[in-house]
C-alpha cells in the first residue's frame, strides 16, 4: 500500500514497532551477547544492533530518500536536518535490558526540515506505545492522550539522571529537593514517557540526539517544553543537558540552575 498521508505513515510505523517488539521478546529468550562500548557502564548487545538494523530497513522502505540516524551506526552519517530525517534508538536503557530484562524502550523521532513531525516511545515490557505528533496529537496504545496538567516543580516528582544527581551537575540536587522527590529509571525513553503521562513534572539528563528526538516531538505536541538548561532551544544533532518539563516546572528549574 502506498503511503499518502501522515496518519497512514503513523499507523505503519506503529506496526513496524510492534513487529520489532515481537523480535526483541523472542531474542530475550536466547543468550544475549553483551559488549562494552566506552566503559563498563556503556553496553551494547546483539539485540541493540539487530533491532536497529530491523528498524532502519523498515523505515528505509517507507521513506527511501530519508536520512536515518541510529545510535549503533547502522543508518546514515547524518550531518544536517534538511529534508526527511528519522532518528532511532533501538534499545534505550541497555543497562536495564541486560540486568533487569525490563524498563527499556524503543524510540523513533521524525523531523522534516528540522520540524518535529512524528515521535514514538515504546515501553517494550509494559507494551505501552506513545505515538503521534503536532498534526495528529498523541496516543497511547492508539487511545488519545490528554495533555498533562501544568504542575509546578513543588507539586510533582522530578525525573533525575543518576550521574547528574550523584555529581550534582546542573544543580540537580537543589532541583530534586525543590520537587516532591527525585526518581531515576535509567532510561531516557521511560522517563520522558512518564513526563508525557503526567507521572513526572520534568526530566533532566545529559542526552544524545536519539535519546530525546522522539520525546521532543511528543512533549511539544502535549504543550510541554523541551530546552537546554539555560532555556535555549535544543539542537537535534548535538549532545547536551536537555530539560523536558511542564511550563511551570521549567520556570522553576531554569531559576534554580541559573
Ligand atoms: P542507552 O541505554 O540507549 O545508551 C540512562 O543511562 C539513560 O542515558 C539511557 O537512556 C541511556 O541510553 C542514556 N545514556 C547512557 N549512556 C549515555 C551517555 N554516555 N551519554 C548520554 N546518554 C547516555
Ligand atoms: Ca547506548
Ligand atoms: Ca538512549
Ligand atoms: Ca540505545
pLDDT per residue as tens digits for the range 119-141:
999 999 999 999 999 999 999 99
Residue owning the nearest CA to atom 14 of ligand 1:
207
Residue finishing a domain among 125, 144, 163: 144
Of 54, 55, 250, which is closest to residue 156 (Cα–Cα)? 250
Residue owning the nearest CA to atom 3 of ligand 1:
92
pLDDT of residue 207: 98
pLDDT of residue 4: 85
SS3 state at 245: strand
CA 64/CA 57 separation, integer angstroms: 10
Residues 204, 122 share a domain: no
Q: 63 is in which domain, residue-wise?
A: 6-144
Residues 172, 240 share a domain: yes
pLDDT of residue 114: 98
Is residue 243 one of the residues assigned to a domain? yes
Residues 240, 120 share a domain: no
pLDDT of residue 97: 98
The burial of 200, by beta-carbon neighbours within 10 Å (0-12 exposed, 13-18 middle, 19 or more buried), is given as buried
Residues 161, 99 share a domain: no
Of 14, 20, 21, which is closest to residue 127 (Cα–Cα)? 21
Q: What is the rounded average pLDDT for all residues in the chain?
A: 98
Residues 114, 204 share a domain: no
Residues 185, 99 share a domain: no
Question: What spacing in Å lies between the alpha carbon of 65 and ligand 2's midpoint?
Answer: 26
Q: Give the ligand whose atoms come closest to the C-alpha of residue 241.
A: 1
Confirm if 218 and 140 have CB atoms less than 8 A apart: no
SS3 state at 213: helix
Residue finishing a domain among 106, 124, 144: 144
Residues 250, 205 share a domain: yes
CATH code, domain carrying 211: 3.40.190.80
Give me the residues near ligand 3 (ion), CB cutoff below 5 Å: 89, 92, 211
pLDDT per residue as tens digits for the range 93-124:
999 999 999 999 999 999 999 999 999 999 99
CATH code, domain carrying 52: 3.30.540.10
ipTM of the complex: 0.95
Residues 134, 176 share a domain: no
Of 252, 161, 151, which is closest to residue 203 (Cα–Cα)? 161
Give me the residues near ligand 4 (ion), CB cutoff below 5 Å: 71, 89, 91-92
Is residue 169 one of the residues assigned to a domain? yes
Residue 225 has pLDDT above 80, yes or no: yes
> Who contacts 194 (Cβ-Cβ below 8 Å, separation ≥6)?
159, 183, 185, 200, 203
Residues 113, 30 share a domain: yes
Interval 146-160 mean pLDDT = 98
Alpha helices in 4-93 (DSSP H): 6-27, 46-62
Residues 140, 34 share a domain: yes
Is residue 1 one of the residues assigned to a domain? no
Is residue 244 one of the residues assigned to a domain? yes
Angle subtended at Cα 227 by Cα 115 and Cα 55, rounded to the nearest 5 degrees: 50
Place of cell 498523541: 138
Residues 108, 162 share a domain: no
pLDDT of residue 51: 98
Residues 86, 64 share a domain: yes
pLDDT per residue as tens digits for the range 230-242:
999 999 999 999 9
pLDDT of residue 2: 76
Residue finishing a domain among 115, 144, 173: 144
Domain count, the chain: 2
Amino acid at each position: 500500500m502506498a503511503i499518502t498521508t501522515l496518519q497512514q505513515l503513523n499507523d505503519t510505523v506503529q506496526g513496524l514497532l510492534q513487529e520489532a517488539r515481537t523480535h526483541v521478546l523472542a531474542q530475550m529468550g536466547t543468550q544475549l551477547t553483551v559488549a562494552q562500548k566506552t566503559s563498563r557502564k556503556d553496553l551494547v548487545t546483539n539485540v541493540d544492533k539487530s533491532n536497529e538494523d530491523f528498524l532502519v530497513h523498515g523505515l528505509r522502505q517507507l521513506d527511501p530518500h530519508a536520512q536515518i540516524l541510529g545510535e549503533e551506526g547502522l543508518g546514515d552519517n547524518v550531518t544536517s536536518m534538511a529534508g526527511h530525517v528519522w532518528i532511532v534508538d533501538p534499545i534505550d536503557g541497555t543497562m536495564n535490558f541486560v540486568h533487569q530484562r525490563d524498563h527499556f524502550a524503543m524510540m523513533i523521532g521524525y523531523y522534516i526540515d528540522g520540524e518535529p513531525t512524528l515521535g514514538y516511545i515504546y515501553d517494550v515490557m509494559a507494551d505501552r506505545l506513545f505515538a503521534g505528533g503536532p498534526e495528529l496529537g498523541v496516543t497511547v496504545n492508539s487511545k488519545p492522550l490528554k495533555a498533562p496538567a501544568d504542575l509546578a516543580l513543588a507539586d510533582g516528582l522530578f525525573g533525575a539522571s543518576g550521574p547528574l544527581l550523584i555529581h550534582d551537575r546542573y544543580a540537580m540536587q537543589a532541583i530534586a529537593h525543590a520537587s516532591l522527590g527525585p526518581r531515576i529509571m535509567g532510561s531516557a525513553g521511560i522517563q520522558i514517557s512518564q513526563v508525557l503521562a503526567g507521572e513526572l513534572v520534568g526530566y533532566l539528563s545529559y542526552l544524545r540526539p536519539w535519546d530525546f528526538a522522539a520525546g521532543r516531538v511528543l512533549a511539544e505536541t502535549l504543550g510541554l517544553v523541551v530546552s537546554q538548561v539555560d532555556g535555549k532551544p535544543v539542537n537535534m544533532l548535538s549532545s547536551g543537558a536537555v530539560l523536558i518539563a511542564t511550563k511551570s516546572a521549567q520556570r522553576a528549574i531554569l531559576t534554580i540552575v541559573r
